[in-house]
Structure 1
């Protein structure tokens, strides 16, 4: 059976004025994968995400989403995105968890249409999927950073996207809850079948959860399955990162 890809990048290069940020990137993400995208600060990870989301146009190369060239792609509701929101969220914002999650349906359904019974059920299912059912009526400003990030993920998945992109979602999450957070992402990938792209600095944790790893530092130094990535020595990783690197496991 031929592999189905949700994202394909071929010969993608991007520069800001004279500074090259991405150079000849080849990246293919198969349907159902959990890809960890790692690399040092300034390596081009955020720029790559902006290219995938259509916010930036590469000077060279081609990007396809679900087999469609990005220039022709219209079904953006098939993609969910979660940024580092918990770190900068306005805690005084007057909305409940339910209302924040429900707002994720507007892109797919339109701004002024009434919610149907199915819509309301989808909101409750999304809240349940991230383990926040007990907080559905709570004001989002009363939640911890990690809880807020769970709500933002529920908002991103309420329209049932096929691809979920997360840009360092554990920023602002208490270190004691990070492992539970990754377990939740693993559950979304395994149980709901959502393809995930996770940008993170936490190399040790992702190798225990993801199916594939891409190591970016302007060039794509590694792109393959997680078990292949784990076989790389710290010397090879340090060469990718440009400085000494020690991989820590979080299993204990």
Structure 2
């Protein structure tokens, strides 16, 4: 039987009397790559904040790695990458190596020196995202796509079992996005990291992810990506509240 990484039951969340999430049930199993899709304002970011313990839902339960979220302590097992690219201060005086090393703070504590093993972990994470040649480069000199890779390296340097990415490709050009998704697939398949990718990019991800969850206040669909591709246009329109065509790019895996 598969091990569940996330288990959500009867989750409700209300902001100032407005119900944002209603009766959400979601199971994410170990080793899966979930694409979380939905229109703007559909509750995707609220759901992430509940998962990360930032927001507390009014009703329902969340379990992380089999433990109720209230008792969960091993936050280093979860890596998070936000929609950073557009808001990052490119004048920040830090090398790629230093940015990635900052991902070890929760494990090491703020002022503890890095051991040779820690330095190896940083180099390995940089290599895994394809930035070895840029390790000494100032983060501000990198392109948006390369910066996002550096932030993923920072998120995986502490060996998380789950990596959550909130629209990481905003403002990144199409070719870079394609390479970016290939890299995520590699992290999922070769390192066995469970991934949750929040995205608007419905068509591009269906052949990359293993599962899709479509949220718009309610969870309208949750299943394998193949099943999602087979949905009819009118079913998709019901989810999104407007007509939508899923354009799938059938690259081989």
Q: TM bucket by the smaller chain?
A: over 0.9
Identify the residue that residue 150 of structure 1 maps to in structure 2.
Answer: 149
Deviation per CA, 1:24-54: give whole Å up to 9, x if none: 0000000000000000000000000000000
**TM-score normalised to structure 1 length:** 0.98
Q: Offset of 1:70 from its aligned partner?
A: 0.2
Structure 2: unaligned runs, 5 residues or longer: none
**TM-score normalised to structure 2 length:** 0.98
Deviation per CA, 1:54-90: give whole Å up to 9, x if none: 0000000000000000000010000000001111100
Residue aligned with 1:248, SS: coil
Residue aligned with 1:166, SS: strand
Structure 2 CA distance for aligned equivalents of residues 96 and 64 of structure 1: 37
Deviation per CA, 1:184-238: give whole Å up to 9, x if none: 0000000010000000011111111000100000000000111111111111111
User: Does residue 106 in structure 1 map to residue 76 in structure 2?
Assistant: no
Identify the residue that residue 227 of structure 1 maps to in structure 2.
Answer: 226
CA RMSD of aligned residues (A): 0.9
For the 8 Å contact 2:229–2:246, the answer to whether it is kept is no
Instruction: Could you list the structure 1 runs, at least 4 aligned residues long, displaced by more than 6 angstroms after superposition.
Output: none
Structure 2 CA distance for aligned equivalents of residues 26 and 155 of structure 1: 30
Identify the residue that residue 162 of structure 2 maps to in structure 1.
Answer: 163
How many residues get paired? Answer: 251
Q: Offset of 1:173 from its aligned partner?
A: 1.1
Structure 1: unaligned runs, 5 residues or longer: none
Structure 2 CA distance for aligned equivalents of residues 56 and 20 of structure 1: 14
Structure 2 CA distance for aligned equivalents of residues 234 and 181 of structure 1: 28
Q: How does 1:36-115 map to 2 (within 5 A)?
A: 36-115=35-114
